[in-house]
Amino acid sequence: MPITEQTFHSSSLSDAFLILTRLSGVDLPVEVSNELILKGMDTRQLHQHCERFGLTCQRSLSALGKMPEATFPCLLQMKGKRFVVALAARQGEVQVLDKESQLLWVKESALSERFSGVCYSIQKAGEPDSHSPVTASDWLKREVAQLWANYAQVILATLLINCLTLAVPVFTHFVFDKVLPNYATETLLAVTIGIGLVILADFVLRWLRSFYIDDACRHITRQAELQLIDSLLRQEAHQINLSPARLAQQAQGFSRVKEALSSSILLTALDIPFFILFTAVIGVIGGPLMWVPIAVAAILIPASIINYRLTRKRSSLATKTQTEKNACLHELTQGLETIRAMGAGQSLLSRWRILVNSSNRHDFSHRRVGSVLNAFVISASQIVVVATLVMGVFLIQSGVLAPGSLFACIILGSRAVAPLMNLTQLLSRINLSRQALKQLDPIFSNSGFANAGTESPDATQQRLYHLIPDIEFQDLSFRYPSDNQDTLHGINLSISAGERVAIVGASGSGKTTLTRLLSGGLIPDSGRVSVSGHDLTGLNLADVRQHLSVLQQQPFVFSGSVRSNLLLGNASANSSELDRACFITGLDQWISRCRKGYEHPIDEYGSNLSGGQKQALCLSRTLLHGGSLLVLDEPTSAMDNLSEAQFCQRLPDFLGEDQTLVLVTHRASLLQLVDRIIVLAHGRVVADGARDEVLKKMQAVRTG
Ligand SMILES: Nc1ncnc2c1ncn2[C@@H]1O[C@H](COP(=O)(O)OP(=O)(O)OP(=O)(O)O)[C@@H](O)[C@H]1O
């Protein structure tokens, strides 16, 4: 039967979106569903709605058969602006819905005839749950628990491998004591085939065991790396208290955890209990020879524990100094030009030297403690062989032991103490992993798990689907944790929807801080910030940011292309919207000179752009985001006079009637864009009124 529209169901974007959200278990408010059904939506609104409801929306271009598993569930855009909800794919088939919303597998070839090649992958954005862990170790325990099947197989394989290990000493014992005295070559052939099969089984089990461990480790590492970034993205600026260098160090910490979970270490840990098995077998075969491995273990185990305790504190100091070194290195690479220009190379070098000396001191003192034990550990296996041999000779002389049994006991003794020899290493790796996990706790505990003040939707946070861009600051005070006095005191201001307001004042008067409080990046110590009549602290910030476009004072450009930077806040902007935003800021003139236009490549931190270009790019990006509340912090500080004049001329046409503009500036020329000026001094509002009146007052203060 040919697959037609009757078998798989295509619908408008809004209908497909509603179906997909229902299937994903996202409850949309009735009024939103009704509005979507009545008004429909375009792909740009799709991104906005997804963000609102805690979903991620990723647009991609791909042939049907080449979509990775992670793409599903998704909306497939068909020709003629129809959409199909696709839930999964398997060999040559895609799972879609029919008209009755029943699941159905259809051939890719049937869909691909009408598939436009564009697909929107829609997924829940790492939703927090009430059982979520609040520390990195809790998180790790949960992940490991989820992989219990892998670890159960590893334990079973370890049990079998250790039992099979007994076969070689038994074989040795048999050959020496039974085959050799009688020259029984036929028997030798039979037992050799038997031991060959045992060795083969041992090989397969070991290989399977490594496979299961590596598989679990790969899963945990992947989750850990995703979790790290997800946790960071969920945090508000006021919650992040990390320097980039420290963060990089902590991210590296995951590699220690990975190491601890990887084959060598885990297998050592699993092999330790089999010391008892091997020693017991020695007891059966060689009687008193079992005391040799027991004596070695009686020295090795306490010594390893003492070494672990001694090195624990030292290694934490070593990690701390390493973090400081990384921070210094990061600053040095970022500020290399300034260091050269200031001729400050020598002073930086001496700072670096102090750090290197201190790091070496901690590092080597912690190694020195372990080196004595490591030397003993290496001697331990030799001690076992020599002591067993010497004792064995006496036992053979007294007729209680056969030579074959002695050889078997030597092999078993070495095997019994082998995992104990790695005990020091195991404990030190566990220690490093614990430290790494502890360092990650601030990220995990403040992340979306805890949820307060985060970007992801939370039942306690009020959703805001429509925002009237009016703002109110009531008795607002704020102090940075590192400061000893308030940056802002008793601010009372209200800005109505559609107002154009400038905030001016001397450097350090608190203008930027006020805008950061407005965007939810900082939380007031007292008083409140209200947007659209709601206290900002009770609102879901992701909702607020749908309507809030903020240009930061320090423009930040990401590596990629001009287009990828512009689309950062509005992934579905079309080319005329791009052109318009770039025209307002004057970026269009530079883009027209670039051979690749919007695809012009951008290096890390935008290092291949001029200061003015970076600013214009960030400004265009902010305008393109399209919020009804526009906050621009020094939007033209790096622009030339002509570009600034053009921007002032073009911006009013761009702004909607109800769009509120809050402009932070030192430039008098920008004040033509506003009707009202608020003057801050030392964190207080000292003047607030119509532009011309405030300017007159300021002039009078200056001249008078
Ligand atoms: N992250 C921070 N931690 C501690 N103090 C800070 C921080 N950011 C700013 N400050 C302090 O807060 C005060 C106000 O800074 P803010 O950036 O708001 O001033 P501003 O009026 O925007 O200055 P400018 O016009 O120079 O940009 C300053 O004294 C500054 O030193």
**pLDDT digit string, tens, across residues 469-507:** 899 999 999 998 888 889 999 999 999 999 999 999 999
Query: Which residues does residue 503 pair with via DSSP β-bridges, in sequence order?
Result: 664, 678
Residue with tokens 């954005």: 125
Phi, psi of 72 (to 5 degrees): -90, 150
Predicted structure pTM score = 0.63
Within 335-344, residue ranges assigned H as helices are 336-342
The CA 221 to ligand 1 mean position distance, Å, reads 39
| Cβ 487 under 6 angstroms from ligand 1 | yes
Lowest mean pLDDT among 337-341, 393-397, 516-520: 337-341
Taking CA atoms only, the protein residue closest to ligand 1 atom 25 is 507
Residue 483 Cβ inside 6 Å of ligand 1? The answer reads: yes
Angle value at C-alpha 49, between 48 and 55, nearest 5 degrees: 100
Mean pLDDT of 183-202: 83
- The pLDDT tens digits of the residues spanning 277-304 come to 888 888 888 888 889 888 888 888 888 8
CA 514 to ligand 1 center in whole angstroms: 10
Write the CA distances from 215 to 137, 147, 252, 421, 514, integer angstroms.
Answer: 20, 10, 20, 27, 50
Report which ligand 1 atom has the smallest distance to the Cα of 514: 18
**Is 482's C-beta closer than 6 angstroms to any atom of ligand 1?**
yes
Could you give the count of Cα atoms lying within 13 Å of 456 in the half-sphere of its Cβ? 20
Report how far ligand 1's centroid is from the alpha carbon of 509 (Å): 7
Q: How far, in Å, are 252, 316, 432 from residue 312 at the CA level?
A: 19, 6, 8
CA atoms of 261 and 354, how far apart (whole Å): 35
Using CA atoms, how far apart are residues 605 and 614, in angstroms rounded to an integer?
A: 9
C-alpha to C-alpha distance for 316 and 436, rounded to whole angstroms: 10
Residues 640 and 475: beta-carbon distance below 8 Å: no
> Measuring CA to CA, how many Å separate 343 from each of 336, 348, 356?
10, 10, 22
Determine the average pLDDT of the residues in 127-137: 54
Of the candidates 517, 530, 539, 520, the one whose C-alpha atom is nearest the C-alpha of residue 458 is 539
pLDDT band (50, 70, 90) for residue 234 = low
Query: Is the preceding omega at residue 73 within 30 degrees of 0, hence cis?
Result: yes
Q: How confident is the model at residue 72 (pLDDT cuts 50, 70, 90)?
A: confident
Any atom of ligand 1 within 6 Å of the Cβ of 82: no
Instruction: Quickly state the pLDDT bin for 466 (edges 50, 70, 90).
Output: confident
SS3 track for 144-160: HHHCHHHHHHHHHHHHH
Give, rounded to a whole angstrom, the gap between the first and last alpha carbons of the chain: 91
Question: Does the structure show a pLDDT above 90 at 536?
Answer: no
| Per-residue pLDDT at 572 exceeds 80 | no
The closest-lying atom of ligand 1 relative to the alpha carbon of residue 516 is 18
Judge whether residue 47 has pLDDT over 90.
Answer: no
Give the residues across from 476 on adjacent strands. Answer: 491
448: confidence class by pLDDT, cuts 50, 70, 90: very low
Q: Is it the case that residue 443 has pLDDT exceeding 70?
A: no
* Mean pLDDT taken over the chain: 81
* Nearest residue to 499 (alpha-carbon basis) of 674, 333, 648: 674
Q: If you search the block for the tokens 């709601």, which residue do you land on?
A: 534
Tell whether the model's pLDDT for residue 191 goes beyond 50. yes
Q: DSSP secondary-structure letter at 175?
A: I
Pick the closest to residue 461 from 529, 543, 525, 530 (CA basis): 543
Residue 3 — very low, low, confident or very high, per pLDDT cuts 50/70/90? very low
Q: What per-residue string of b and e applies to 465-478 under the rule 16 or more CB within 10 Å gives b?
A: eebbbbbbbbebeb
User: What 3-state class would DSSP assign to 82?
Assistant: strand
Q: Kindly report the CA angle at 413 between 411 and 418, in degrees rounded to 5?
A: 95
Alpha helices (runs of H) in 567-687, residue ranges in sequence order: 575-585, 587-593, 611-625, 641-654
Q: Is the CB of 511 under 6 A from ligand 1?
A: yes
Exposed, middle or buried: residue 197 (CB in 10 Å: 0-12, 13-18, 19+)?
exposed
Q: Whose CA is nearest to atom 13 of ligand 1?
A: 508
Residue-wise pLDDT for 329-370, tens only, equals 887 887 787 777 777 777 778 888 888 888 777 666 666 666
Note the pLDDT of residue 1. Answer: 43
Residue 459: C-alpha distances to residues 20, 53, 104, 134, 236 (Å) = 21, 12, 34, 18, 18
Per the structure block, which two tokens stand in for 453?
A: 């003040």
Ranking 185-199, 571-585, 592-606 by mean pLDDT, the lowest is 185-199
- Ligand 1 pocket mutation pick from 503, 509, 667 by most atoms within 8 angstroms of CB: 509
CA distances from 514 to 486, 523, 538, 635 (A): 12, 10, 18, 16
Q: Which of 491, 503, 513 gets mutated to test ligand 1 (max ligand atoms within 8 A of its CB)?
A: 513
- CA of 693 from ligand 1 middle (Å) equals 27
CA of 633 to the centre of ligand 1 (A): 13
Query: What is the per-residue pLDDT for 649?
Result: 94
- For atom 26 of ligand 1, the residue with the nearest CA is 507
Q: How many angstroms separate the Cα of 594 from the Cα of each of 600, 602, 615? A: 7, 12, 17
pLDDT above 90: percentage of residues in the chain? 22
The interaxial angle of helices 575-585 and 641-654, nearest 10 deg, is 130
Quote the tokens at residue 601. 């490549």
Closest by alpha carbon to 512, among 300, 663, 620, 650?
Answer: 663
Tally Cβ neighbours within 10 Å of residue 514.
28
Q: CA quadruple 256, 261, 264, 270: dihedral positive or negative?
A: positive
pLDDT score, position 231:
67
pLDDT score of 452: 35
More confident residue, 684 or 542: 684
* Distance from residue 487's CA to the centre of ligand 1 (Å): 8
For tokens 């099947």, the residue is 149
| Cβ neighbours of 679 (radius 10 Å) | 21
Query: Distance between CA 20 and CA 76 in Å, rounded?
Result: 12
For residue 513, report the distance from its CA to the centre of ligand 1, in Å.
6
> Ligand 1 within 6 A of 485 CB?
no
- Does residue 531 or residue 30 have the better pLDDT? 531
User: Where does the pLDDT of residue 242 fall: very low under 50, low under 70, confident under 90, or very high at 90 and above?
Assistant: low
194 Cβ inside 6 Å of ligand 1: no
| Alpha-carbon span 358 to 353, nearest angstrom | 9
